């Protein structure tokens, strides 16, 4: 079962884009570029979504603990 999590090992800011890339099985750079592109056009919406995801999404290491 695939889970959505923050990937702290491949992070640039909070690890949200790296975690989404792991979930979608694609390159983290592609997810970062899409996020920056959306950030340019819809600044406040994507910024809030990113910040909320940074607080809500668990770390990958937390999911591995029993």
> Which residue, chain included where needed, has tokens 């919406």?
45
Residue-wise pLDDT for 55-65, tens only, equals 998 887 666 65
Q: What is the largest CA-CA distance in the chain?
A: 41
Do residues 65 and 12 make contact, with C-beta atoms less than 8 angstroms apart? Answer: no
Count CB atoms within 10 A of the CB of residue 16: 26
Q: Name the more confident of 10 and 61.
A: 10
Residue-wise pLDDT for 11-66, tens only, equals 788 888 888 898 899 999 999 999 899 988 887 888 899 889 989 988 876 666 55
Tell me the torsion sign for CA atoms 40, 42, 48, 53: negative
Joined tokens for residue 27: 């390159």
């Amino acid at each position: 079962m695939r889970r959505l999590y923050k990937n702290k090992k491949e992070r640039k800011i909070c690890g949200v884009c790296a975690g989404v890339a792991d979930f979608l099985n694609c390159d983290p750079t592609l997810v970062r570029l899409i996020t920056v592109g959306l950030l340019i056009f819809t600044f406040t919406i994507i910024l809030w979504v990113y910040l909320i995801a940074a607080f809500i999404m668990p770390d990958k290491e937390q999911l591995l603990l029993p």
